[in-house]
Amino acid sequence: MQRMVFERLEGGKDELAAVMMITESVLEHIGFLEHPSPKSKRVLSDRSKTGLLVIKEFLDVSYRMLCRLLNSMSGVLAAGRIAKTPEHSTLRKFAGRLNSQY
């Protein structure tokens, strides 16, 4: 499985950054709030987290593997305005929250 992931990444990092930018743009256009919770620390926007979930599904990897891969995906992090790679549990919890809200 890891070989397939790395084959998809090979030469595709710019495309993944484009996916992140397009996801954020679409979410902004439909009015998806960046930080809908008043309790948010505003470290990582919900739009960025959603973009990362789209990339996770495309790569067909676990949350933990995605977070490991993100360390070598500076274009994706820059496109999502992400300063620090999130913990895998952050994305997993966010995905659960998305499923219950939408």
Going from N- to C-terminal start, the domains of the chain cover 2-33+42-101
**Alpha helices, H only, 1-102:** 2-9, 13-29, 46-59, 63-70, 74-79, 88-101
Q: Residue 101: pLDDT above 90? A: no
Split at pLDDT 50, 70, 90, the class of 39 is low
21-30: long-range pairs with CB below 8 Å, 24+? 21/79, 23/47, 23/50, 23/51, 23/54, 24/48, 24/51, 24/79, 24/80
Mean pLDDT of the chain: 80
Q: Where is pLDDT greater, at 7 or 59?
A: 59
For residues 88-102, average pLDDT: 84
- pLDDT over 90 (residue 38): no
Q: How far apart are CA 40 and CA 100, in angstroms?
A: 18
Residue 54: band (very low, low, confident or very high) from pLDDT cuts 50, 70, 90: very high
Neighbours of 16 (CB within 10 A): 22
pTM: predicted TM-score of the whole model, two decimal places:
0.77
Region 62-68 average pLDDT:
95
